[in-house]
Chains A and B, each alone.
Chain A
């Protein structure tokens, strides 16, 4: 018989976290941290695979149901259109234009972006005169963007924690090619793209945002990722090609 006082050998912390991750029990921040751990700790990745394997048979009990006959043609059409991220190509082009326009207009310091990425420095740029006040983000729900990278299976995870004005960028699955860096930009409707810094492949970074910049992040805010020379966009030149885009959403 089992009773409330029953005790058995506890699972190691790491294995508990793996099970919690697989089940979906974790809150947004813990989930992001777990995702980062997957890339850096092969044992943790193996724990996750094991728990998925243990729980997968629960899905066997769900009775098969045939989807409609139009389902396969729909999938084919989606593949043919290259509608891979459910984001119209037109939109990406428009964003690219906006990134370029902004680059021409201002000339941004790549060094600042690097400082933001590496030192978590909040000093990137001062508040613009018309910036809305930061306190409009009293709502503390994290915003999350999951950005698919081109035609690869990879995603860049970006989580913004409004109550701390902190951003977590999880590039765990990405690897450096040695000749390019990728730079993340926040697309603002009225003021072009604002750099959120160079993404460091294979890492998870926590950075404190400048309040003026943080104030511009809201549900639906668009992000683009551009391919740049090592070190980030060169000041005074156009941003590199947009390689991926996505938007923040409430969790």
Chain B
């Protein structure tokens, strides 16, 4: 498929460059952090902003992400994960931690803010991963029952526990758990099909 060659190669190149920067970071090279910041901050800020729903909180979370990244670069295993996925999950976890500390009320970001475009072109961001994986997870989530999708999405984007979900939806805790567990089993089957 010649059509898919170009984006795939671009993504591979971007990934390799980020991988290389992460390696330099692990060796204590602070200029690597700036490169990584330029390449990934728009994506990671988008994630923090979506989860926290507040620009100033999202900025604090973003600062926390890069400061922690500098601290823990040595623990990054270059063989294991795609660097941008690792960073994205890292940012998501930090934002969720912050959200759960109850400092802010989670909520939807105003539409104009959510769709604000980056004012400079990120070096690697847009092409780091092809959209294919994203389409796949959306498709597989779509095969679940509505209530399963809802629970999994809410947990992922808000860090909501079983107990909170059950209370929110007004159903017994055990029922919520078995919905979600069945949903997770099905999700995995679909993703690996």
Binding site for B on A (CB under 8 A): 2, 4, 6-11, 15-16, 19-20, 23-27, 49, 52-68, 71-72, 74-75, 78-79, 83-84, 86, 148, 151-153, 249, 251
Taking CB atoms, residues of chain B closer than 8 Å to A7 are: 182
Q: Counting CB contacts under 8 A, is B138 at the interface?
A: yes
Partner of B119, one of A58, A59, A66: A66
What 1/0 mask marks residues of chain B from 7 to 36 whose CB sits below 8 Å from any chain A CB? 000000000000000000000001001100
Q: Judge whether B89 and A24 touch: CB under 8 Å.
A: no
State in angstroms the CA–CA spacing of A68 and B187 once bound together. Answer: 37
- Assess the B46–A62 pair: CB atoms within 8 A: yes
Can you list 11 A-B contacts with CB-CB less than 8 angstroms, sorted by A residue number?
Answer: A16-B184, A19-B184, A25-B165, A49-B81, A53-B82, A58-B138, A63-B114, A66-B45, A75-B37, A78-B67, A79-B67
Residues of A within 8 A of B134 (CB): 57-58, 60-61
8 Å CB contacts to A: which residues of B101-116? 101, 113-116
Q: How far is the CB of A119 from chain B (nearest CB, A)?
A: 33
Chain B interface, >50% SS class: helix
Q: Which residues of B contact A64 (CB under 8 A)?
A: 42-43, 45-46, 118, 122, 125-126
Contact indicator A58/B137 (Cβ below 8 Å): yes
Contacts of A152 in B (CB 8 A): 71-72, 74
Rounded to whole Å, the gap between the CB of B37 and the closest CB of chain A is 6
Q: How far is the CA of A20 from the CA of B100 in the complex (A)?
A: 16
Flag if A62 contacts B47 (CB, 8 Å). Answer: yes
- The minimal Cβ–Cβ distance linking B131 to chain A, given in whole angstroms, is 7
- Contact for A11 among B89, B119, B188, CB less than 8 A: B188
Q: Which residues of A contact B86 (CB under 8 A)?
A: 52
> How far does the alpha carbon of A79 sit from the alpha carbon of B160 in the complex, in Å?
32
Instruction: Across the interface, name the chain B residue whose C-beta is closest to A3.
Output: B145
Are the C-beta atoms of B45 and A65 separated by less than 8 Å?
yes
B70 to chain A, nearest CB (A): 6
**Shortest CB distance A61–B (Å):** 6
Q: Are A57 and B129 in contact (CB under 8 A)?
A: yes
Is A11's CB under 8 angstroms from B184's CB?
A: yes
With a 10 A CB-CB cut-off, give which of B63, B129, B163 has the most chain A CB atoms.
Answer: B63
When the two chains form their complex, are residues B161 and A24 in contact, meaning their CB atoms are under 8 A apart?
A: yes
User: Quick one: given A67-B59, A71-B59, are A57 and B75 in contact (CB under 8 Å)?
Assistant: no
B126 to chain A: closest residue by CB: A64
- Across the two chains, which residue of chain B brings its CB closest to A15? B188
Q: Whole-angstrom distance between the alpha carbons of A95 and B63 in the complex?
A: 26
Checking B47, B49, B153, B163 against A27 with a beta-carbon cut-off of 8 angstroms, the contacting residue is B163
B80 adjacent to chain A (CB < 8 Å): yes
Query: Are B159 and A24 touching (Cβ within 8 A)?
Result: yes
By the criterion CB–CB under 8 Å, are B89 and A67 in contact? no
